[in-house]
Amino acid sequence: MTSQDNHNHFCIYCGARLVANQHFCTQCGKKVYHGPQTEVVRVSSKYESQVNRIEEDYNLKQSRASELVEKLFEPNHASYSRFTSAIRKSNQLFYNQLQITRKMIELDDSGLVDDEIENKIGLLNTFVDKMEDLINELVILLSSNKKDNDDVNDLFSDMDDLIDSVKNY
């Protein structure tokens, strides 16, 4: 039975299960009411394209960051593990927040939670910015041939702070 059948799934008189396009109840014989068919039209939210664009930006940047980590470090190097772990944590939290944001957008057709949706979008943009910072630091490392750097450690600290703040949020 599809949502377009637009009739009760059970007889309102005896409670027997009904099947699609059934006109009379097989249990009690009463006529099955078929209301007027209505089509649900989903209105696109003002935030959907913005959230989609943020997701595309994040995907491109995290992919680029992962490529740079692969170029810079051997898989058995401690920095490789640290970078890939940070990227993985960031991905998990980003996609979790993205899903929450999309659900909020989907469920809120009244505009009552616009401020909260905008806060979530700001948080998603912070993930994109931090991934961009990571890329920049990796490019600097790649061009300078240094394997350890205070700037990278500061970036890890920033990413850890972001991850902790999202977890606490």
Answer yes or no: is pLDDT of 151 > 70. no
Answer yes or no: is pLDDT of 41 > 70. no
For residues 65 and 138, is the Cβ–Cβ distance under 8 A? yes
Answer yes or no: is pLDDT of 168 > 70. no
Which of 1, 26, 30 lies closest to 13 in space, CA to CA?
A: 30
Distance CA 52, CA 98 (A): 9
Q: Which of 12-21, 56-65, 91-100, 144-153 has the lowest mean pLDDT?
A: 144-153
Residue 60: φ, ψ to 5°: -65, -45
The tokens describing 139, both together, are: 């490019």
For residue 128, give Cα distances in angstroms to 4, 25, 103: 40, 57, 20
pTM, whole model, 2 decimals? 0.65
Q: What pLDDT score does 37 carry?
A: 55
Distance CA 95, CA 147 (A): 30
Answer yes or no: is pLDDT of 5 > 50. no
pLDDT tens digit sequence for 74-122: 899 888 888 898 899 999 999 999 999 999 988 876 777 888 999 999 9
Which of 72, 53, 66 lies closest to 140 in space, CA to CA?
A: 72
The tokens describing 42, both together, are: 């989903």
